[in-house]
Amino acid sequence: MPTSITSRTSITSPTSIIGSRTTPRCAELAAVFQDQLLEEPLTTGASAARRRRQLALMTLAKAACRECPLITDCLYRAVVEYDVAGYVAGTTPPQRALIRRRLDITVEPENFDTLAGVTRGSRQVNHSEVVRLRNANPHESLDLLAQRLGCSLSTVKRHLRRERREPTARTTKPKPTVAEVLAAAATVTSSSTGSRRPQAA
């Protein structure tokens, strides 16, 4: 079990300077930001002690995010580019889901089974899955990609030849601007008290 949050370093400065690099407070407070109580929602039968601990962790995390100079970039990436878990940029996963709905965007979660090479026996391989995995891992051998996908090397080659002949039309909507994300976040989190809203640079 993690140590008591009261024994952790108090949040006095948003970042620490290490050499010429800035380290975000969430990296310094990894035990807080990666605590299971911030990663997963509480069950309805959670004890009062767990609820108090979660509130204390959230207060520490909120203070660290509020003071962080990287909050705008962090929020934008967590809303638009990556479907991350836990408390990020002063928002919870349900809040980020609401922000995405307001902006009418979808962020696909990573298929960690495919990326890790976990396969599920014999299955149909999707063309876009082969192309996506190849684009994500351009330096890996085709044989390794086939192993990750759970298919034959010839299947991977066939899909990649098809992609070279007939490139997949990428009809994606333009990403929202930073200002649009900030406005949606301000609306969604407006019921929270005392949190500084990220501001566009």
Q: Which H or E run contains 21?
A: strand 21-24
User: What is the structure's pLDDT at 191?
Assistant: 63
Q: Report how far Cα 28 is from the mean position of its chain's Cα atoms.
A: 18
User: What is the structure's pLDDT at 136?
Assistant: 82
Contact 35/2 with Cβ under 8 angstroms?
yes
User: What is the structure's pLDDT at 172?
Assistant: 62
DSSP class of residue 70 equals T
133-173 confidence digits (pLDDT tens): 888 888 889 998 888 888 888 888 998 998 888 887 665 67
Q: Report how far Cα 83 is from the mean position of its chain's Cα atoms.
A: 4
SS3 87: coil
What is the Cα–Cα distance from 143 to 148, expressed in whole angstroms?
9
What is the Cα–Cα distance from 23 to 68, expressed in whole angstroms?
10
Structural domain boundaries of the chain? Answer: 1-69, 112-165
72-107 confidence digits (pLDDT tens): 999 999 999 888 888 999 998 889 999 999 999 988
Q: Which two tokens stand for residue 188?
A: 């969604």
SS3 91: strand
pLDDT for 11 beyond 70: no
pTM above 0.75, yes or no: no
User: What is the structure's pLDDT at 184?
Assistant: 94
For residue 85, how many C-alpha atoms fall within 13 Å in the half-sphere facing its CB?
Answer: 10
